[in-house]
A and B are shown apart, each in its own frame.
Chain A
Amino acid sequence: MELSFIVIDDTELDHFIARKMITNANSAFHVRSFMDASQALEHIMVDGHDDSIKVVLLFLDIYMPLMNGFQFVEAFEKLDQAIQDKYYIVALTSSIEISDINRISSYHSFRARITKPITADELKELLNKVIDEYGISM
């Protein structure tokens, strides 16, 4: 599979929902979960060079303890460009704060923003866009 998934969120229920939504769209999709953003970052640094995967769709919560979504993106943007190119980061947050929304759009690494709860239609639209953009064969 050329498309893979990472979910970073500090709430177990949101992991469960995201995983369920993604595998409902295609049961062959592989999802990796991280409760702690810094662990996800470590994983990306080590595992970023798997050539069989064309792109990783990364759902990132914003409001988390220790390392929040913004801190994650700031650290991510310091990684090798080759690694960065493989990740398609989507902010997935319950926040309706205008300050958060503006801040999300100020980072070029956030390719999209979805307000929780994500619907099947929103996910489908996003998947079509990514598959199209990266020329992924399903």
Chain B
Amino acid sequence: MEIARNSLEKAVPPAKAPGAKSLRVIVETRQTNSVKKTVSESQTATHPCADMPTKILIQDMNFYYGTVQALKGVNMTVPANKVTAFIGPSGCGKSTLLRCLNRLNDLVDGTRVEGTILLDGENIYRPEVDATDLRTRVGMVFQKINPFPKTVWQNVAYGPQLQKIRKRTILDTIVEESLKGAGLWEEVKDRLHASALGLSGGQQQRLCIARALAVNPEVLLLDEPCSALDPISTGRIEELLHTLKERLTVVIVTHNMQQAARVSDLTGFFLLGELIEFDDTKKIFTNPNDSRTEDYVTGRFG
């Protein structure tokens, strides 16, 4: 626990300007309602959304980097057309779980997966599932903003071109729609053929979202998408997530609890590879079942 506490202190960023107020509200709410829950009660927290249609069902996930176990028996249901947030201190396994959802961990040497992940009822870890096909259904946006060193147009058209779409008119349409979907069209429509590296950080990250949207995914995974962005760019991306969830299912990993509170419908709290609590975001931030969750969201871990 000692280690976890130390890492937590580093992991929780100081409240940023737009979120500061809401955090204070949450903290005050928690302090007036300091009810301690037992650990066993959190087991029931894996089904907070029984009434919603399920998009992804995670069952008994164990994940190992060599001999180190990064995920321990995670069970979770990600509902369709909702924003689901994973929170927790650094090294708690939330990014690992996210990367399992599109099998990006397959490519890391020395890793091992146990358990199943069902996407629309089908196990994505069956050997006959083609990981590249899966990744077109489950798109991803990364923490490190990574537009390719190509033009804006080439970046967005990259995915469709991989799917052998060659017609310029079709590609042009896809590029425009994806950029509109990412709220970037107005800003870049005159510089589609300029280098993507010339855009600002926020624009680059929205370009990465547009690039992911261009392959028309059913699920969009975001791994701390705003960690390198200023509050204004962050705000724009958060707004974007609200509109996106009407089209697809969003899973977001974030270090920023205000962000989780603002954008997500459901929140899962991870600690040392375990899913401690998974529930309605409002409930997690106002009335969590687990004392560790409560300590984490109030900023005093332990």
Do A and B assemble together? no
